[in-house]
Structure 1
Amino acid sequence: MIWLTWRQFRAQTLVTLGALAVLALYLVVLGNQIRTFYTTRIADCTGDACTLARFELRADYGHTISVLVVVLLAVPGLIGVFWGAPLVSQELEQRTDRLVWSQSVTRTRWLVVKLTVIGLFSVAVTGVFSLLLTWSVSRYDQVIGERFAAYNFGSRNIVPIGYGLFAFVLGVVVGLLVRRTLLAMALTLAAFAALQLLVPAVARQNLMPPVTETITVDAEVLRQGVGMSLEDDGTFTLRGYTVPGGWALTDSSPLLKPDGSAYTGDDAKPCIAMVGDRAESDACTAAQNLRFTHTYQPADRYWTFQWIELGLYTALSLLLAAFGLFWLRRRR
């Protein structure tokens, strides 16, 4: 069965290995270019030179990295559509499965071998791609940050391995259920795309209880370039604050005075009068000891989130595979 699976899958394997080799070469070149930029422009910079260098780094490489991220996020879906969905549905549709089962190969062994061999190859493809991209853009991520951003989180380190495995098993099981190749491909793509949108938007932030802190508006907070918006009710809201390296779960928070009451336009007038001098205006605001609450996921939880999400996708893959085996054994 392993030999037969290889014979049926060797064309896709060779094409994939060739594409991966070309991509690896490009990512190595890109990674070296970013490292050279970092060494010459950022490593020893100070003051405004650092700000300009960071801007140029994003301008020079941000678009290219975004394209690579989209490609990596699409790879698991393509695996599910073109490797997973036709793998069994095509056999059932053409009734070639009956020939295999008549050769002393049980249907359980038939499916287990297919899931194992090609599933491991799916894991290897997404894992190698992810590790190459993670290495290539590591200096860019170090400077720009945003590790918890949805696209960045889903395209770095170990999480894409879970995506690749899940998408493949999902395609196989959908094909097993509907027994029509084109329909299975369409349903697999729709289901995987929906999950990829829902997890970062709804589920990921709740994998661990968030942290809520009361933050004092001081010079360090103001240096982040936060915005203070005057609302219709005459109170101020602070926007754009992020704990360094963390994942902000609140976009805005009401500004409060030390006694807990709302900070109003009248309270801000002395500092607004200094708007011509940003340093004096910021010092005036900081001296008022304003506070706001901020809900976030700390930076040191990044790898915990990676492992949790990988574990969840792996568990879902195993459950789907078990269901597929159960369903196949019940088929008459």
Structure 2
Amino acid sequence: MIWLSWRQFRVQALVAAVALILLAAGLVVLGRQIRDGGYSGAELREHFQGRVYLLDAVLLLMPALIGLFWGAPLVARELEAGTHRLVWNQSVTRRRWLTVKLLLTGLAAAVAGALTSALLTWAASPLDRFTGDRFSTIFFGTRNLAPVAYGIFALVLGIVVGLLIRRTVPAMALTLLALVVTQALTPNLIRPHLMTPEHMSAPVTAEVVRNLTFLGQQPEISGLKLPGAWVISTSRLRTADGATVPADAYGRCVAGSFDKAADCLGALNLHVDIDYQPTSRYWTFQWLESALYLGLALLLTALGLWRIRTSAD
């Protein structure tokens, strides 16, 4: 059964192996260039940030590719063509048939995710230490443990969707939709609350305002950065006594140029209340989110093993 599963999977595995070898070679070259050039932090950002972002985008796409091209067709194609009946009639139980496929491809997905994540984490580590932005969506999802869990979840999701739908193309489409939704919701709605955030108040000086990404018509700000922390949410601008800054006073400040608005708001002695996650919790978040995705993969596996036992030929 293992040999048969390998023969059915070998084309996808060989294509992936070639792609991984090329990607690994590129990551090794990039890592050596970053380390051997004697660059300062600012120079690292200037010369290598674009290339690292491109590689981050590739790794963010890997789980979707695994789910689409390894997971969804693996069972759906056999059910659609009827070739599963030959195996089921050779004293191989349905659950064993599915379990072998899950284990073989799951191991391949774990190895692919671990290899690429380890190499990118190593290659980009000098730049990551300079930027210090470990919790951002693109960095958190492409470093260390998380990519391995993402790949396994995507694979199992694709296999189970294919088992339920029994048609390859619709299974691929639904798998892609589910992965897009999952990867959009997790960093924005789930990850910030895996642990209870810390709270603090931070002064809004003119320098702070100049470093913001958003200054709208209402007394609220966006893009506030806190050294050594991941800012989850900020309150509206508050005066020294804790009240929301009057709209007319805020409006007068932002009516002029951005520099004048920064000086004007800085003179009002304002502050904001912040919910944040300390960077010291990074590894805890990596383990928690990986456990979440692996737990979902186990639940999907249980669903698939139950469904295949009760499904008609």
| TM-score of Structure 1 vs Structure 2, range by shorter chain | 0.7 to 0.9
Q: 2:119 aligns with which of 132, 138, 152?
A: 132
Matched, 1:300 2:280: yes
d(CA) in 2 for partners of 1:231, 1:73: 31
d(CA) in 2 for partners of 1:248, 1:305: 15
Partner of 2:149: 162
Partner of 1:109: 96
Matched, 1:17 2:40: no
Q: Shift in Å at residue 152 of structure 1?
A: 1.1
Q: Shift in Å at residue 36 of structure 1?
A: 2.9
Matched, 1:172 2:159: yes
Aligned-partner residue type, residue 305 of structure 1: F
Secondary structure of the residue that 2:272 maps to in structure 1?
strand
Contact 2:27–2:119 (CA under 8 A) maintained in structure 1: yes
Q: Shift in Å at residue 95 of structure 1?
A: 1.0
TM-score, length-normalised on structure 1?
Answer: 0.82
d(CA) in 1 for partners of 2:46, 2:211: 22
d(CA) in 1 for partners of 2:80, 2:105: 20
Secondary structure of the residue that 1:241 maps to in structure 2?
coil
Matched, 1:87 2:67: no
Q: Shift in Å at residue 175 of structure 1?
A: 0.7
Secondary structure of the residue that 1:254 maps to in structure 2?
coil
Aligned-partner residue type, residue 41 of structure 1: Y
Q: Can you give the 5+ residue segments of structure 2 that lack an aligned partner in the other structure? A: 254-258
Contact 1:239–1:252 (CA under 8 A) maintained in structure 2: no
d(CA) in 2 for partners of 1:316, 1:71: 23
- Give the greater-gyration-radius structure (CA): 1
Deviation sequence 1:212-237 (CA, Å, 0-9, x none): 1123457xx9479545999868xx65
Deviation sequence 1:63-92 (CA, Å, 0-9, x none): 211111111111111111111111111111
Q: 2:135 aligns with which of 129, 145, 148?
A: 148
Q: From the superposition, tell whether residues 147 and 93 of structure 1 become closer, same or farther in structure 2 (CA, over 3 Å).
A: same
Q: 1:312 aligns with which of 289, 292, 299?
A: 292
Contact 1:141–1:147 (CA under 8 A) maintained in structure 2: yes
Partner of 1:122: 109
Matched, 1:212 2:195: no
Q: From the superposition, tell whether residues 34 and 253 of structure 1 become closer, same or farther in structure 2 (CA, over 3 Å).
A: farther
Give me the CA root mean square deviation.
Answer: 2.9
Give 1:31-110 correspondences, 5 Å limit: 31-37=31-37, 40-42=38-40, 54=42, 56-110=43-97
d(CA) in 1 for partners of 2:235, 2:36: 38
Q: Percent identity?
A: 46
Aligned-partner residue type, residue 314 of structure 1: L
Deviation sequence 1:202-257 (CA, Å, 0-9, x none): 21111111111123457xx9479545999868xx6565432213111225641422
Deviation sequence 1:115-170 (CA, Å, 0-9, x none): 01111111110111111111111111111122111111111111011110011111
Q: Can you give the 5+ residue segments of structure 1 that lack an aligned partner in the other structure? A: 43-52, 270-274
d(CA) in 1 for partners of 2:215, 2:136: 28
Deviation sequence 1:273-324 (CA, Å, 0-9, x none): xx89x9xx79xx59x8654311111111111111111001000001101100
Deviation sequence 1:93-128 (CA, Å, 0-9, x none): 111111101111111110000001111111110111
Q: From the superposition, tell whether residues 89 and 240 of structure 1 become closer, same or farther in structure 2 (CA, over 3 Å).
A: closer
d(CA) in 1 for partners of 2:215, 2:291: 44
Matched, 1:183 2:181: no
Contact 1:175–1:184 (CA under 8 A) maintained in structure 2: yes
Secondary structure of the residue that 2:233 maps to in structure 1?
coil
d(CA) in 2 for partners of 1:317, 1:196: 15
d(CA) in 2 for partners of 1:73, 1:310: 15
Runs of 4+ in 1 over 6 A off after TM superposition: 228-233
Contact 1:240–1:251 (CA under 8 A) maintained in structure 2: no
Secondary structure of the residue that 1:191 maps to in structure 2?
helix
Q: Shift in Å at residue 2 of structure 1?
A: 0.8
